Amino acid sequence: SLKAFIFDLDGVITDTAEYHFLAWKALAEELGISFTREDNEQLKGVSRMDSLEKILELGSRTGDFSADEKQALAEKKNEHYLTLIQNITPDDLLPAIKELIADIKTSGLKLGLASASKNAFTVMESLGLKAEFDGIVDAKTVAHGKPHPEVFLRAAEMLGVEPEACISIEDAAAGIQAIKAAGMFAVAVGPKESFENADIVYASTAELSLEKIIEVYNG
Ligand code: G6P
Ligand code: MG
């Protein structure tokens, strides 16, 4: 039976997915690479270095930089990203997230975070959510990024629950793949056509309802 909810951070709890996009777009432009919102969909949930590789591929510039230069480009994007997130406050939760988290806690269910971002603790702190969560796993401590299931499995482990007893929420295709590979129930937020293997899809976080999700989980 259901024991826990595990959340993705960027694009589910707060709109940092937009800031990642803006920071990558600025870097891409500087490199003369055209980078659209549509291109960005493929980067959601993807690690910093893998995202950079994908952008360089878009511009056919993968071979133009040494490993050190790529490191410097990724660092530059991150510095820009850090300036964009510096004013995040508890008011920056996406619609219905505050209520959902409160309902989960009232129901006695555990609460976990599985993020592909190395900045996850910083953002959770700014949102005032760090202490609310029973377990947080970020990109600093996992070997394999999403769509590999590791980050979700580690979060379940930290909560002391089996994967089958977890419902996880994601806005990225790579994230939904990771959740299903972990053997968990997957809730997707975003356009229906992007998430063929999700168990439920909501167009936006505003529609998330604990009652409805649990009803579908229980079949
Ligand atoms: C999240 C976001 C991605 C981002 C990745 C790495 O999964 O969805 O857009 O590239 O984290 O973030 P970081 O903060 O470590 O650069
Ligand atoms: Mg996300």
Distance 43 CA to ligand 2 centre (A): 9
Please state, in angstroms and rounded to a whole number, the distance separating the CA atoms of residues 23 and 197: 30
| Interval between CA 41 and ligand 1 midpoint (Å) | 12
Phi, psi (degrees; rounded to nearest 5) at 6: -120, 125
Kindly report whether the global pTM for this prediction surpasses the value 0.90.
yes
∠ Cα 184 171 53 (to 5°): 105
Per-residue pLDDT, 195 = 95
Q: Is 40 in the pocket of ligand 1 (CB under 6 A)?
A: no
Ligand 1 atom index nearest CA of 43? 9
Determine whether the shortest distance from the Cβ of 77 to ligand 1 is under 6 A.
Answer: no
60 is in an annotated binding site: no
Our answer on whether the CB atom of 179 is closer than 6 Å to any ligand 1 atom is: no
**Which H or E run includes 135?**
strand 135-137
Q: Which atom of ligand 1 is nearest to the CA of 51?
A: 10
Question: Residue 45 C-alpha to ligand 1 middle, in angstroms?
Answer: 6
Per-residue pLDDT for the chain (219 aa), expressed as one digit of tens each?
A: 999 999 999 999 999 999 999 999 999 999 999 999 999 999 999 999 999 999 999 999 999 999 999 999 999 999 999 999 999 999 999 999 999 999 999 999 999 999 999 999 999 999 999 999 999 999 999 999 999 999 999 999 999 999 999 999 999 999 999 999 999 999 999 999 999 999 999 999 999 999 999 999 999
Task: Determine if residue 116 is labeled as part of a ligand binding site.
Answer: yes
115 among annotated binding-site residues: yes
